[in-house]
Amino acid sequence: MPENTKKELNIKPEEILEIIKDISGQDVYVCYQCGKCTAGCPMSENMDIMPNQIIRLLQIGAFDELLKHNTIWLCASCLTCTSRCPKGVDLARIMEAVRLLLLRQNVAYLNASDIPEEDREELPIQALVGAMRKYSP
| Candidates 5-13, 49-57, 59-67; binding stretch for another protein (CB under 8 A) | 49-57
| Candidates 3-11, 60-68, 77-85; binding stretch for another protein (CB under 8 A) | 77-85
| Candidates 10-18, 60-68, 124-132; binding stretch for another protein (CB under 8 A) | 124-132
Residues 36, 97: Cα–Cα separation, whole Å: 20
Site for another protein in 83-112 (CB under 8 A): 83-88, 90, 92-93, 95-97, 100, 109-110
Q: First vs last Cα of the chain: how many Å apart?
A: 16
Give the distance from CA 38 to its chain's centroid.
14
Does residue 79 touch another protein according to CB under 8 A? yes
Residues 103, 62: Cα–Cα separation, whole Å: 19
* Residues that bind another protein in the complex, under the rule CB under 8 A: 22-25, 32-46, 49-50, 52-53, 73-74, 76-80, 82-88, 90, 92-93, 95-97, 100, 109-110, 115, 119, 123-131, 133-135
